[in-house]
């Protein structure tokens, strides 16, 4: 770490000038409001809708490529593919020394062969085979620099991935070229053309993820891009994957001038990314929202970047392949219902402004600045070390139960942090996801009464809630005494009650101003999904 405090920026760490400590575990029940609020949701069911792409299903993040040799990580990815619809898996470190892609032969130990490094794709093949067997495709991330090719001492993570520029650009190009050629030979060109190739990760974080300067990164981009295109011009190559969504314009202008345009663009942002003295990406929103204290900061950055790339004439995809409320490596609030509402609100606001929204990250199997000990320790993952579904995981399950046509919902006019997403699917089945967010470090639990106007000829169906108790494995763990190490029996007990469950408390049907409505209760902060059936 350099002189500035460094913390896990979406796992993929982000330096800041002034960083407050991670908040303590929120005491959600510290003060309960004495009076319930009412939310009135009146979707325009008869008006034309707009497409509602499930962009959050496109990519899932894993901390580092090395973890995918683990059976438990493979099982967690299989779960995410089956339950969340994940299609691609992104992880840095494909070329790390631990993956043995460029190391001497074991025969060199006794002098039987040269001690010069050679390529070896066995470990990489094992991981990619495991992904393909589970219906997943890799994000082919060309990082980091093997130690035998690095020009300097800069490393990242406790695992010491080498991040200085290559000392031999021709050798680097040959390594990248051979990796893609090998993949095509093994899996076939049609399969590999369906992957995404990503050049580096957060190169704007100097002496952390990148030991060079911007000019050296742009050279890395050009050399890597051209090496991949030499293998097959149709391979999709993207970047710059910068923290705080920086360097997008730099990459686009450089690519246009040097015949190495990105096929797709990648960017990262966390709602607490803003910091004094740091450049920020374009921002679309109120001036008051241009700081980390605003719940709208990440939303404003995402909208601003959308406008920027459109003005620059980008025709390919745009990926937010890391995002979240906080980049702090440990944040207990991340495992609360407030995180659920943050996720639903952000995707409700901007999920159609890009082609992929990869929340950071899928699993607590993670080691950038240390490996977690406690069963629930505020880690980045949607799944904990034992593969237990956190409340935030259930939120993505609810989002994926929504339809693909969105209907307008007027603002509630009470609290700008509350909202609803109303959709219909191809069969006409309607759903409404309601979220109630609180941005304070210690949210106050509050009961809400929700009234949803129903489409003609329908009735309420199943309702799901995710709050401080329902579909909340963390609260079950706390009731156990919050043991750091779960026993096998405790793990089995939590697993038995860890699937997404419909709420047992019912939904009332009533008529308001001549309109048939469904009334139910939920909690703030939290989310609730009402599925609607035809009569």
Active site residues: 202
The Cα-based distances of 19 to 5, 193, 301, 335, 366 in angstroms read 7, 41, 20, 20, 22
Length of the chain counted residue by residue: 535
Taken in order 518, 423, 426, 504, is the CA torsion positive or negative?
negative
Nearest to 332 by CA among 277, 391, 281: 391
Pairing of strands 155-156, 356-359: unpaired
Q: How far apart, in whole angstroms, are the C-alpha atoms of residue 368 and residue 61?
A: 14
Q: How far apart, in whole angstroms, are the C-alpha atoms of residue 56 and residue 35?
A: 35
Q: How many CB atoms lie within 10 A of CB 380?
A: 28
Please list, in sequence order, all residues whose beta carbon lies within 8 angstroms of the beta carbon of residue 267, skipping any fewer than 6 positions away: 240, 241, 242, 245, 248, 281, 305, 318, 319, 320, 321
Q: CB of 388 within 8 A of CB of 72? A: no
Query: Dihedral (C-alpha) 213, 284, 323, 368: value to the nearest 10 degrees?
Result: 30
Please list, in sequence order, all residues whose beta carbon lies within 8 angstroms of the beta carbon of residue 468, skipping any fewer than 6 positions away: 28, 29, 336, 337, 445, 475, 523, 526
The Cα-based distances of 233 to 120, 228, 260, 261, 379 in angstroms read 24, 8, 11, 12, 39
Q: CB of 474 within 8 A of CB of 335? A: yes
- Matching residue, tokens 């990250």: 361
């Amino acid at each position: 770490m350099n002189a500035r405090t460094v913390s896990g920026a979406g796992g993929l760490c982000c330096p800041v000038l002034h960083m407050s400590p991670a908040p303590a575990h929120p005491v959600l029940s510290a003060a309960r409001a004495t009076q319930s609020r009412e939310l009135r949701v009146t979707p325009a069911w008869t008006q034309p809708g707009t497409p509602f792409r499930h962009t959050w299903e496109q990519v899932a993040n894993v901390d580092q490529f090395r973890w995918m040799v683990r059976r438990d990580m493979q099982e967690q990815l299989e779960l995410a593919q089956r339950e969340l619809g994940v299609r691609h898996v992104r992880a840095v470190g494909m070329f790390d020394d631990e993956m043995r892609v460029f190391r001497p032969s074991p025969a060199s130990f006794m002098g039987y062969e040269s001690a010069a490094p050679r390529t070896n794709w066995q470990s990489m093949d094992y991981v990619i085979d495991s992904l393909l067997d589970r219906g997943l495709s890799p994000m082919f991330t060309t990082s980091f620099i093997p130690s035998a090719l690095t020009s300097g001492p800069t490393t990242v993570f406790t695992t010491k991935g080498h991040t200085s520029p290559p000392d031999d650009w021709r050798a680097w190009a040959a390594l990248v070229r051979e990796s893609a050629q090998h993949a095509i030979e093994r899996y076939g060109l049609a399969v590999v053309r369906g992957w995404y190739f990503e050049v580096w990760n957060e190169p704007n974080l100097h002496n952390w993820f990148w030991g060079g300067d911007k000019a050296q990164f742009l050279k890395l981009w050009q050399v890597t891009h051209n090496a991949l295109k030499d293998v097959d011009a149709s391979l999709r190559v993207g970047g710059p994957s910068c923290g705080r969504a920086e360097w997008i314009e730099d990459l686009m202008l450089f690519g246009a001038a040097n015949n190495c345009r990105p096929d797709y663009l990648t960017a990262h942002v966390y709602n607490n990314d803003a910091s004094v003295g740091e450049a920020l990406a374009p921002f679309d929103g109120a001036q008051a929202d241009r700081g980390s204290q605003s719940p709208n900061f990440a939303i404003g950055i995402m909208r601003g970047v959308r406008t920027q790339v459109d003005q620059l004439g980008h025709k390919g995809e745009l990926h937010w392949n890391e995002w979240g409320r906080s980049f702090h490596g440990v944040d207990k609030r991340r495992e609360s219902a407030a995180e659920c509402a943050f996720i639903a609100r952000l995707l409700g606001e901007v999920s159609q402004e890009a082609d992929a929204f990869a929340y950071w990250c899928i699993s607590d199997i993670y080691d950038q600045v240390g490996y977690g000990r406690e069963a629930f320790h505020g880690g980045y993952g949607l799944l904990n070390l034992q593969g237990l579904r956190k409340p935030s995981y259930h939120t993505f399950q609810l989002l994926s139960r929504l339809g693909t046509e969105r209907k307008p919902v007027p603002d509630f006019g009470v609290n700008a942090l509350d909202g609803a997403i109303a959709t219909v699917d191809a069969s006409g089945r309607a759903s409404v996801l309601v979220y109630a967010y609180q941005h304070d470090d210690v949210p106050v639990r509050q009961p809400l009464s929700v009234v949803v106007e129903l489409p003609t000829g329908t009735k309420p169906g199943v309702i799901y809630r995710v709050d401080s108790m329902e579909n909340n494995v963390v609260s079950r763990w706390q009731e156990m005494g919050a043991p750091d190490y779960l026993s096998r029996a405790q793990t089995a007990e939590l697993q038995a009650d860890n699937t997404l469950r419909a709420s047992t408390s019912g939904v009332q049907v009533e008529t308001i101003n001549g309109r048939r409505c469904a009334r139910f209760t939920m909690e703030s902060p939290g989310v609730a999904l009402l599925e609607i059936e035809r009569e």
